[in-house]
Chains A and B, each alone.
Chain A
């Protein structure tokens, strides 16, 4: 039987032709650049000069003795932790709530409205929020002034609030996408499971915690991984548009620092070094995630 299943499926060269277009582009624009980036981290170069100076570990020494890198690293984790509620807790809560409504026009409307921000680009999202955060007549201040306060909140110019503003914008933009993912995941939980739990006298909370949560754990894990990824890369856009990494780099993450070194100061060596260290941290994080998932994720449905 096994043999029959694979008739015609082991031609010598054909399979390679199918994967070639994707694989070659990945090799040329991903695997090779990754390697080349590591090589560049050992040189001093400014994009223009015809010679690259080999400097050994110098770039690494500069970077690790300076607090630009460590602060950006801390900010990167701050963003991951700040954005996680917007990609796991809140969307799961609302997906669960909306799923509990009977099929109706209202339910469809709720879903559609909550999903919409995801269709908007990060750039549009950022600009709209910059306008809402505006200290001169921004809508948030105007709304607060209805309650008698005349103070304006320095969302983008305060070192404490600027990262929070970036988190709000990213969270708002990502919420809908993860609601789709959790809505889909909750639909896969067999109704018999929840019904029998209900008959056994488990309340809504217990049913969720002991039945649904373990069953959707592969999805939650997927969401966790993509959040780490999004929070460290896509946040570039709100950072760039809201604060340019400021004030005093208080809102700059690692990606922003790579961009600054590379395309503002044309210090390719430091940019490549920052990117290389980021990559190493990512490998560690991915490894840790796989280890954690082996213990906490249930794939047995």
Chain B
């Protein structure tokens, strides 16, 4: 009885706030829960009238079908190759150019940097047709290179790295220069170690985008053995047989696991990187 009087208005307010956010979390996460739950449902449990949040007889049949009837291993491999190539390429070109803009003074720098900033606001739809023509003329349709190449120049990455390079105290550079280091050594021995947290965040952001990229591969990779995982998902919708919902949700689960895991593991870096970029 004594304890109850201690529950002040403030406590109740806190409890309400917690309850409110718990309900929101449940709502936000529900679609993914439903995806995983469906992936374990045998066909007989897909179209039930009751809510059936959890399958009565969990089954692995969808996962088995996914791997035996569709070239999912091939799709995973394609996604991995493209994600790796695009991530490495973007990170590398961004480091080099970001360092170039942040460290050096040179003629035409302002104009070049404005062009880089501007590239961030050019919608892909305004360049996709010429890009498609170019890639097809180069004979790169249905190739990983054809997907990766036009994606390499990354305005945001250049801007991001430049901001970080400029926040490094100049005395650090000068000391290294007087020790006889050239700019290449300064980049890899000073800049990269100093900004490695943010660099990791940038890498994760690019990897997320690269693993999940949909539109451009949809145009370039038309052969089904060349599909990436997100594109491959469209194969579960069949014009005649309808949609294989169980298999589709199983493949979606498989496609989501690596990135969700990566995301949870690096969440704090992402927040920190957003702070230090300053966005100003």
Q: Which residues of B contact A114 (CB under 8 A)?
A: 24-25, 28
- CA–CA, A269 to B245, complex, Å? 38
Q: Is A29 on the interface with B (CB-CB < 8 A)?
A: yes
B271 touches which of A33, A121, A180 (Cβ 8 Å): A180
Q: Is A272 on the interface with B (CB-CB < 8 A)?
A: yes
Q: Which residues of B contact A254 (CB under 8 A)?
A: 125
Could you tell me if A113 and B29 are in contact, using CB atoms closer than 8 angstroms?
yes
Q: Is A77 on the interface with B (CB-CB < 8 A)?
A: no
- CA–CA, A14 to B106, complex, Å? 9
CB within 8 Å: A-B pair count: 289
- CA–CA, A181 to B270, complex, Å? 9
A114-B28, A275-B129 known; A282+B121 contact, CB < 8 A? yes
Could you tell me if B96 and A30 are in contact, using CB atoms closer than 8 angstroms?
no
Name the interface size band of chain A: 35 or more
- CA–CA, A114 to B128, complex, Å? 33
Given contacts A5-B174, A124-B256, A137-B46, 4 further A-B contacts (CB under 8 A): A16-B100, A23-B97, A131-B248, A172-B31
Interface residues of A (CB under 8 A from B): 4-11, 14-19, 21-26, 28-34, 36-37, 40, 47, 94, 97-98, 100-101, 106, 109-125, 127-129, 131-132, 134, 136-137, 139, 142-143, 145-146, 172, 175-176, 180-181, 183-185, 187-188, 218-219, 222, 225, 229, 232-233, 236-237, 240-241, 254-255, 258-259, 262-263, 268, 271-272, 275-276, 278-279, 282, 286, 299
Interface residues of B (CB under 8 A from A): 17-18, 20-22, 24-25, 28-29, 31-32, 34-35, 38, 46-52, 92-94, 96-97, 99-101, 103-106, 109, 112, 115-116, 119, 121-134, 149-155, 158, 170, 173-174, 177-178, 183, 208, 211-212, 214-215, 218-219, 230-231, 233-234, 245, 248-249, 252, 255-256, 259-260, 262-264, 267, 270-272, 274-275, 278-280
